[in-house]
Amino acid sequence: MLFALVAAACASLAFGAVHIPLGEVLDTLFGRQVPETSKQIIEVLRLPRTVEAIVVGAALGVAGACLQGALNNPLASPDVIGVTGGAGFGAMLVILLSPASVALLPLSALAFGLLAALLVFLIGFTGRGGGNITRIILAGIAIAALFSAATAGLMSVYPDRVPNAVFFLVGGLTSTGWDNLETIWPYFAVGFVLAAFMIRPLDRLMLGDDVAASVGSRPRLIRLTAALAAAILASAAAAIAGLLAFLGLLIPHLVRLLGGTNNHSYVMPVSALAGAALLTAADTLARTIASPVEMPVGPFLVLLGVPLFLWLLRKAV
Amino acid sequence: MTTVAARTQPRFNRIHGLVMLLAAVLLGLALAAPHAEAAGKQRVVAISPFAASAMIKMGVKPIAIGQTIGGSRRLDPRLRNVKTLKLSHPNGPNLEVMAKIKPDLVFSSTRWSKGTSAMKRLGIRVVYADPTGLGQVYPTIRKIGRKIGRSAQAGRLIASMKKRVNRATKPTTKHPKILVVLGIGTTAMAFLKNSWGGQLVRAAGGNLVTGGATNSGGFARLSDEVVVAQNPDIIVVVPHGNSDDIGQVADYIENNEAWQTTNAVKNGKVFVSVDNELLQAGTDVGQIIGKIRSKWLKNW
Amino acid sequence: MAFGRGKVELDDRAPLLEADRVEVRIGKERILESASLTLNKGELVAVVGPNGAGKSTFARAFCGLRRPQGGAVRWMGADLTELHGRRLADVRAYVPQRAQVPTGVTVRDAVNIGRSTHLKPLQGLSAGDRDAVADSIARARMEGFEERDLSTLSGGEMQRVQIAIALAQGAPVLVADEPTAQLDLGATAAISKMLRELVGEGMGVVLIVHDLALAAAIADQVVVMSSGRTIATGTPEAVLTSQLISDVWGVEAELVQREGRSALHVEWLDRH
């Protein structure tokens, strides 16, 4: 998997809408003298974008693994805790209502993604039967529907601006240098660290709440923390790359089918690698296939991921 | 019943005769001054700003016009007090309002084609009069003139427009590379050669940066790598709708790290288009081409 | 989670577990009114009673799985409310009645999870921990099954894995809720022998069980529950009298014990 990631990252740096000889790519990376245009393309466009693809892919893979573990539900993805709906709404607010402040888009998507998740947790983890998986999932579906409706409403009010929104909604990385990562990286950091601490608690949860409690864990707290880690990672990912929640659903399954084990000490890190590799590969395709026009990465992700997934599924059964 | 009918019969005949007489008089008048009559009889709504502007220049006032997106500065002052209809996707004007106004003729745009059949069902004639290419400008004006019975005025309008366009498109040796982007989103949506704005820019002598992309819609999401590699001398941003935040838009582009090395950003040649001038066709084509050349392309 | 808290002193000479008049309410309804139990080292206490008497609720309450609303619970002299996370896991292991059986988890993986109470967050298993895991698997008689996926095990095997997980915690007390309820005769006997061996090693075992004959055969002490109360405590012979069985279960029966064998002679049908 590490090898796949390295290969995808190399391809991502080597290929783009503008052909740059491999020698020049390497020269740029090693700081040697190259034409200014090539240097600009590699340093400001391709390198940050490759890094974004890796970080976002890893974040979504881990978010999916965390949620599927926390909710003990193989269908869990960042959709279920409202993050996708919230982040989509946050982005639409900026793109449709105030396109001139597009610089705020990542923050708005992040904030609303987290807000939606917090609402879901508030409803799902409090009151009678709080922390119950069905309750969390139902709260998630309700909140997601709420934000999707608000998004659809905005879109019908500003139909002429919708084309600019589509790219975000289907998910797409952009070449905006390091700016986005510079603002969002702390969220990724917090999310990844939280997720790392959740590896063992989630393993315990696999054997049921009672066993987890027997070994001294608090199942509700594990669920909340793991879901929070997932919410942070998925919101941060949405802030940078739009709505790619599908990756979060697919990757952990892919990883489990590949490894034949459910242990989070395997699933979590390998999901990070696999998510990063798949997104980087898909983004390279999206950038180059219709060059000079750029395609959103979402559909390519599905194009690459689904056949792989179905093939593994057939092999497993 | 039969008796009542019989009694009303003569009166009806009298009215009938009166109408016939009136019609004969009107016909005579019509033959004497055909244009004035045709216009006077028709109640016309001009949804497309192009048609509204063409009509008023031919001396006919529409009874209502479509709302103009991006301000009303390009609107002829004579149209200022005309009723303005709100337009919304996908039908265009509100159909109930249209049923109430009940115009005879509507100059619409293919953009609102969804509402066309409904308007036709209301007994309204719908004619598309909103050119999407420079080549359609004069034929469209001729068509409008024909529909409102002002062909002669249409001819005069075309002649004056041609004069302005010719002046604005005098051959030039300066052909700077110019990138025109629609709105500002996460990636650049570039105007292609077949878009309205793209055609104006090319007519003004600009070398439109498209990276060779084509599609029927006239816009494409261009890779930033292509933008950097093609290195535009000028970047024009066309915001959607209201343009209060021009400063913010220009700031965003100038601070976009991806485009830092382009000549346009380095030399501060980032402009923001206003009033929908590169999106919405109008009878002011010549003025706009002239503006593109004098304001944006001037130093080349 | 096993994040450390202030250390609570455990007293080796105190009884392993003292539960005194424990009370549990759901809303206004009292589902456990007053239940008490004392467990000493090397002792097996069986909690018996009809369905719905509150046996499982009692066990969950004194194990800290659900908060009691009244009464007191002390583990080795330390109050339950003072014991959290890792400390609680160090004094008692709880084996649930019905285990969740995930796929993609081997027996060894599962038992590792039991041992994880000995690790700091993010810390891996040491050689000593691996030995402890292997030992727990051996004591639960599951050697040779280490690499088997949990989803391929039989009911009896799964129950033994549950006990192995609990043993890997290394706590002096094992609380098992109906471990034999779903098992056939052979598997039940195997589990019973295993529990008795653990008691022989000095552990304390609390067994929730509804089979009176089994309870009588393997328990040192029997606690009888009825309608949310513990109504009798003592040796099986002293407590499980025909009178009590008739009072609590409403059935005429007699417990017969001879040479380590036990049987419940039940009057299934009315003689009249």
Verify C-B touch: 3 or more CB pairs within 8 A.
Answer: no
The whole model's pTM is what? 0.83
Three-state secondary structure string covering B12-65 = HHHHHHHHHHHHHHHHHHHHHCHHHHHHHHCCEEECCHHHHHHHHHCCCCCCEE
Q: Which two tokens stand for residue B265?
A: 């950003």
By C-alpha distance, which of C124, C2, C121, C3 is closest to A197? C121
**pLDDT of res. B2:** 41
Residues of A within 8 A of B223 (CB-CB) are: 16-18, 175, 287, 291-294
Which stretches does DSSP call E strand in chain B?
44-46, 64-66, 83-85, 87-88, 92-93, 105-108, 125-128, 177-182, 189-191, 207-208, 219-221, 234-238, 270-272
Task: Give the DSSP letter of residue A290.
Answer: T
Touch of C by A (3+ CB pairs closer than 8 Å):
yes
CB atoms within 10 A of CB A95: 31
For domain B177-296, give the fold: Rossmann fold (3.40.50)
CA–CA dist A152, A278 (Å, integer): 30
Give the CB-side neighbour count of residue C90, counting CA atoms within 13 A. Answer: 15
For residue C96, give the nearest of A208, A222, A262 by CB distance: A208
B24: Cα within 13 Å, side-chain hemisphere: 6
Q: Contact B185/A165, CB-based, under 8 Å?
A: yes
What element of type H or E holds C130?
helix C127-139
Is-contact C107 C146, C-beta < 8 A?
A: yes
pLDDT tens digits, B171-197: 888 899 999 998 766 667 899 999 999
The distance between the two most distant Cα atoms of chain B, rounded to a whole number of Å, is 94
Number of domains in chain A: 1
Counting as contact any 3 or more CB pairs under 8 A, the partners of C are A
CB contact under 8 A, B239 and A100: yes
Q: In what order do the strands lie in the sheet with C78-79?
A: C78-79, C70-75, C17-26, C29-39, C229-234, C221-226, C44-48, C204-208, C173-177, C92-95
Quick check: A200 and C116 CB within 8 A? yes
Contact criterion met (CB below 8 Å) for B184 and B175: no
Which chain B residue lies closest to A287 (C-alpha atoms)?
A: B223
Spacing of C-alpha B45 from chain mean position: 14
Nearest CA in chain C to A216: C85
C69 Cβ neighbours under 8 A, 6+ residues apart: C23, C24, C25
Chain B residues with CB-CB distance to A under 8 A? Answer: 69, 88-90, 182-187, 189, 210-213, 215, 219-226, 228-229, 231, 239-241, 245, 248-249, 252, 255-258, 260-261
- The enclosing H or E element of B224 equals helix B224-230
Domains of chain C: 17-266 (3.40.50.300)
**Which of A207, A262, A265 to mutate: most C Cβ within 10 Å?**
A207
Give residue limits of the domains in chain B: 39-168, 177-296
DSSP state at residue B292: I
Query: CB-CB: which of C104, C117, C162 is closest to A215?
Result: C117
Average pLDDT over residues C189-209: 93
What is the number of CB-based contacts under 8 A between chain A and chain C? 95
List of chain C residues whose C-beta atoms are within 8 Å of the C-beta of residue A210: 65, 94, 96, 99
- What is the Cα–Cα distance from B212 to B215, expressed in whole angstroms? 10
Contact B213 A179 (CB under 8 A): no
d(CA A314, CA A253): 13
Residue A130: Cβ-neighbour burial (10 angstroms; 0-12, 13-18, 19+): middle
Chain A residues with beta carbon closer than 8 angstroms to that of B240: 99, 158, 160-161, 164
Q: Does the beta-carbon distance from B185 to A99 stay under 8 Å?
A: yes
Specify burial of residue B10 (Cβ count, 10 A radius: 0-12, 13-18, 19+).
Answer: exposed
Measured between CB atoms, does C39 come within 8 Å of chain A?
Answer: no
Contact of C85 with chain A, judged by CB distance below 8 Å, is answered with yes
pLDDT at A244: 87
Residues of A in Cβ contact (< 8 Å) with C85: 216-218
3-state secondary structure of B228: helix
Helix (H, G, I), strand (E, B) or coil at B280: coil
Any idea which of A163-172, A223-232, B268-277, C257-266 has the lowest mean pLDDT?
A163-172
Q: Does the fold of domain B177-296 match that of domain B39-168?
A: yes
- What is the residue-wise DSSP string for A236-255? HHHHHH---HHHHHHHHHHH
What pLDDT, in 10s, does the model give residues B4-34? 444 444 555 666 666 666 666 655 555 544 4
Q: Give the per-residue pLDDT at A32.
A: 81
C91 touching A (Cβ < 8 Å): no
- Closest residue in C to A72 (Cα–Cα): C102
C28 touches chain A (CB under 8 A): no
Closest Cα in chain B, distance from residue A93 (Å)? 12
Subunit partners of chain B (3 or more CB pairs within 8 A): A
Q: Which of B111, B186, B240 to mutate to test the interface with A (most CBs of A within 10 A)?
A: B186
Note whether B239 and B246 are within 8 A (CB): yes
Nearest Cβ partner for B229 among A41, A99, A105 = A41
CA distances from B147 to B39, B111, B130 (A): 9, 20, 14
Cβ separation B183–A161 shorter than 8 A: yes
Closest Cβ–Cβ partner in A206, A213, A263 for C94: A213
Q: How confident is the model at residue B259 (pLDDT cuts 50, 70, 90)?
A: confident
How many Å lie between the alpha carbon of B153 and the closest alpha carbon of chain A?
A: 34
CA distance A109 to A244: 13
Q: Which chain C residues touch A222 with a CB distance below 8 Å? A: 1
pLDDT at C133: 94
For residue B20, what pLDDT is reported? 65
Q: Which residues of A touch C (CB under 8 A)?
A: 72, 196-197, 199-201, 203-204, 206-208, 210-211, 213-218, 221-222, 256, 260-263
Query: Looking at the complex, does the CB of residue C65 fall below 8 Å from at least one CB of chain A?
Result: yes
pLDDT at C37 (0 to 100): 94
Residue from the list A210, A215, A262 with its beta carbon closest to the beta carbon of C104: A262
Closest chain C residue to A213 measured between Cα atoms?
A: C65
Using an 8 Å CB-CB cutoff, list chain B residues near A56.
none
Q: Do A215 and C1 touch (CB under 8 A)?
A: no
Strand B44-46 vs strand B105-108: parallel, antiparallel, or unpaired? parallel
Considering only the C-alpha atoms of chain C, give the largest distance between any 2 of them, rounded to a whole number of Å. 69
Residues of chain C contacting A197 with CB distance shorter than 8 Å: 121-122
Task: For residue A56, give its domain range.
Answer: 2-316
Task: Look at chain A and count its residues.
Answer: 317
pLDDT average, residue stretch B107-118: 88
What is the domain-level CATH number for residue A215?
1.10.3470.10
> Mind telling me how many Å the CA of A156 is from chain B's nearest CA?
8
Distance in angstroms (rounded) separating the CA atoms of residues C239 and C216: 10
Low-confidence ranges of chain A (pLDDT < 70): 316-317
B-chain CB neighbours of A102 within 8 Å are 184-186, 252
The CATH topology of domain B39-168 is Rossmann fold (3.40.50)
Task: Provide the pLDDT for residue A306.
Answer: 86
Distance from B173 to chain A by nearest Cα, in Å? 26
Helix (H, G, I), strand (E, B) or coil at A264: helix
Strands C70-75 and C17-26: antiparallel
Using an 8 Å CB-CB cutoff, list chain A residues near B257: 44, 176-179
CB distance B226–A17 less than 8 Å?
yes
What's the rounded mean pLDDT across residues C60-65? 93
Q: CB distance A160–B186 less than 8 Å?
A: no
